[in-house]
Structure 1
Amino acid sequence: MEGTVRKKAMIKEKMINFAPIIGLILVIAVFAILTGGKSISKVNLKIITNQFVMTALVSIGMVYCFSCGALDMSASGSLCISAISGALVGTKTGSFAAMIIVTVLVSLGIALIKGVLAAYLTLPIFIVTIILGALLSAIGLVLLGNETTISVRKMININNMTAINLTFVICFYIVALVIFNYTRIGKGCKLQGGNALASAQAGINAKWNVIVAFLMSGVGIALAAIITILKTKTVTASSGGSIGNDILLAIVLGGMPLTGGSRSKISAALIGAATITILNNGLSICNVSNDMIQIVRGIIFIVVVFITSMTYRTKLLPR
């Protein structure tokens, strides 16, 4: 009897692990059929790759926050401010290096502030980051002043972004994977998200883990901000776009529980980012309006979160 129960549990575990991959394959197959093969054409695959990079970079870093139970809703604002700050410095100094350095430093500075707030405030961090996201967007408008767009075309002479995009994603994924799976930081984040009391009794410094987790997310946002500047060669108040919602959807579709814990995995970022990117792209090719795309995304998110909550039998909101 005990052996049968254990076997069923193992089968269930395997189904849970493979569900995101199966979902990704289904999304690819469905849109390949609906679009008559346009979604998997050579030209469109290149477009998907470039769209996938932004979500993937931020999602990889954000896994650290989610793994320790810190739901960050301010990614869009952080990316926007980082890109605007870097572009402003670049246009004033005429230095490409200064632009990149400032973009990275601003992103890490914002991440550090969020990490300290998450570590030392007793308020739920998702509420704090929602407010912070709105504040960052307002600061972006102030920085722009009377300008609506900052152009850095004179400093950038890059036309093919595919190689840069893939290099950024692959390198960041490898570094994040090694830290997450083979160091005390990653293991501590997962243990903290799974059971805060057990992690404290194990001697894990919860506050330090949260700060490091946000700094890792800051690295992902910094890389995405750099890609934004290089790709568009312009920066506006809407440069962050809907990246925050895409990240949330990507991580959920990638099979990661919002409460974090031992089931957290870096691969969820890539699988989820690919799924949401192909979904958005496929709906666009099918001439679905932006409003309907948002409705479809919302329905999918609710369904996946419901299934996830039933599977893990745990609270969705971070502790």
Structure 2
Amino acid sequence: MLGATDDGRQPESEPRRRERGNGRQPARNGNGRGFPIDVRLLGLAGVLVVLCLIGYITRPETFLTEENFSTMLRLAAAIGVVSVGMTFVIIAGGIDLSVGSMVALSSVWMTTLATQSFGPVVMVLCALLVGLASGLINGVVIAYGKVVPFITTLAMMASARGLAERLSERRTQVVTETGFSDFFRGNVLGIPVLVWMLAAVFVIGWVVLNRTTFGRRTFAIGGNAEAARLSGINVKLHTALVYGIGGLCCGIAAVMVVARTTSGASTNGLFYELDAIAAVVIGGTLLSGGRGSLIGTLIGVLIFTVLNSIFTQNNLDTDIQNIAKGVIIVAAVLLQHTTSARRKGKPRAPGEVNSSQLSGSKS
């Protein structure tokens, strides 16, 4: 065992000594504490600026207008909140394919005539509880039932969407509670309430992920669930809570979708899982878990929102948008694989997946 130096300090580890000798600061771990200047985040910001320039060049009369920016921010708000929850799940080594269906179920349940009769507060609470309960069900089945996250959330995706169709009888439920619409469709200090909601969720999520024991444990479980268990972390309970956070974010997003469309429908949230995973991956969060950044996720959401606006204003079909998203996701995953292989010094098979995603969380 290494002893202390003459002045009582512990000796430097070899990696830190090498980094200091090379004139580099030790690399920060994946939680991104202290809003560090990250080259990847700067690169993402550069991509966002380039896309805005492309939008201005192709549609100079409409792109850089207050109305268009307000529309883009409103559209980004709901998927942004879902992506915050997805970031927690993926950092913990999981995946959630049911987020879109949970948004649909929450939106339908909160807009039934029975729920609306109790007023806007009950409507919001209903959406939050439905989302939270759905997420916790995912987490409990994965953590305690030891079912693969992919299969569990795929089942929830089908079940929640089916229940939403059953409750709504496949009809759009219009919001008749004027107090709800007046508040959530309004502005505060000239900024839409929905954007304030996204900002609040993002700030709270960042603090929880980077400034609390819960966040540190989330990174630890995603990095190595077995090592986290041996260190005393209740991996099963923590995994269930992480999926609960994802579900709660879906409930919040449902409120935002209903506010924007003034209706609840079983078709709400379609492809939200694709959009959220794309934003998270583009933002630099590893699909294998253990490393990620909410700042990167937020920039990823804005990148896809601006991209969609460019496609829409140039009258490009939605299928082209989906193709572009798929290509971007694959490119981002390949980049992650290459970077990870270089960091570890040995290549990983392109199709290899983190063991925690295949077997569920260990405890």
**TM-score, shorter chain, exceeding 0.5:** yes
From 302, 305, 318, the equivalent of 1:277 is: 305
* SS of equivalent to 1:288: coil
Kept after mapping to 2: 8 A contact 1:90/1:152: no
Indicate the residue corresponding to 2:109 in structure 1: 85
The aligned residue for residue 46 of structure 2 is 22
| Separation in 2, partners of 1:255, 1:181 | 16
CA distance in 2, matches of 1:70, 1:277: 25
Q: Counterparts in 2 of 1:280-299, with a 5 A limit?
A: 280-299=308-327
> What's the CA shift for 1:81?
0.5
Picking from 154, 157, 166, the partner of 1:142 is 166
2:249 matches 1:225 = no
**Correspondence for 1:192:** 221
Matched residue, 1:268: 296
* 8 Å contact kept, 2:98–2:153: yes
Letter in 1 for 2:293: K
1:257 aligned partner: 286
Residue matched to 2:233: 204
Letter in 2 for 1:160: G
Provide, for residues 94-148 of structure 1, a one-character-per-residue CA deviation record: whole Å limited to 9, x for no partner. Answer: 5222222211111111111011012123332022211210121111111112x51
The corresponding residue for 1:114 is 138
* Change in CA separation of 1:119 and 1:42 when aligned onto 2, cut-off 3 Å: same
The equivalent of 1:69 in structure 2 is: 93
Of 150, 157, 162, 1:126 maps to 150
Q: Which runs of 5+ in 2 are unaligned?
A: 1-16, 28-36, 342-347, 359-363
**43-52 vs 233-242, which moves further:** 233-242
Matched position secondary structure for 2:192: helix
Partner Cα separation in structure 2 for residue 269 and residue 316 of structure 1: 21
Please state if 1:55 is matched with 2:84.
no
Structure 1 stretches of 4+ with a deviation exceeding 6 A read none
- Flag the 1:85–1:14 CA change in 2: closer, same or farther, 3 A: closer
Letter in 1 for 2:109: S
1:152 pairs with one of 175, 179, 195: 175
Q: Which has the higher helix share?
A: 1
What is the distance in 1 between the residues matched to 2:48 and 2:236?
35
Instruction: Measure how far apart 1:55 and its partner are.
Output: 1.1
Task: Report if the CA contact (8 A) 1:177-1:266 is conserved.
Answer: yes
CA pair 119-6 structure 1, distance change in 2 beyond 3 A: farther
Paired position in structure 1 for 2:272: 243
For the Cα contact (< 8 Å) 1:229–1:235, is it kept in 2?
yes
CA deviations on 1:147-192 (whole Å, 9 max, x unpaired) are 5111113434424365311221121112111111111111001011
Deviation (angstroms), 1:316:
4.4
Say whether the 8 Å CA contact 1:58–1:220 is kept in structure 2: yes
Q: CA deviation at 1:197?
A: 2.5
CA contact (8 A) 1:91 1:152 kept: no
Q: CA deviation at 1:279?
A: 1.0
Paired AA for residue 83 in structure 2: S
Return the index of the structure with the highest Cα Rg.
2
Deviations, residues 209-268 of structure 1 (Å, cap 9, x unaligned): 11121121122111111111222111111111221111011111112111221x212212
Tell me the equivalent position of 2:59: 35
**2:74 partner SS:** helix
Per mean C-alpha deviation after superposition, the further-off stretch among 155-164 and 294-303 is: 155-164
**Measured at CA, do residues 201 and 43 of structure 1 come closer, stay the same or move farther in structure 2, by a change above 3 Å?**
same
Matches of 1:103 and 1:89 in 2, distance apart? 14
Shift of 1:36: 2.9
1:16 and 1:92 map into 2 onto residues whose CA distance is: 45
Contact 2:106 / 2:251 at 8 angstroms: preserved in 1? yes
Instruction: State the match for 1:181 in structure 2.
Output: 210
Identity of aligned residues (%): 22
AA in 1 matched with 2:176: R
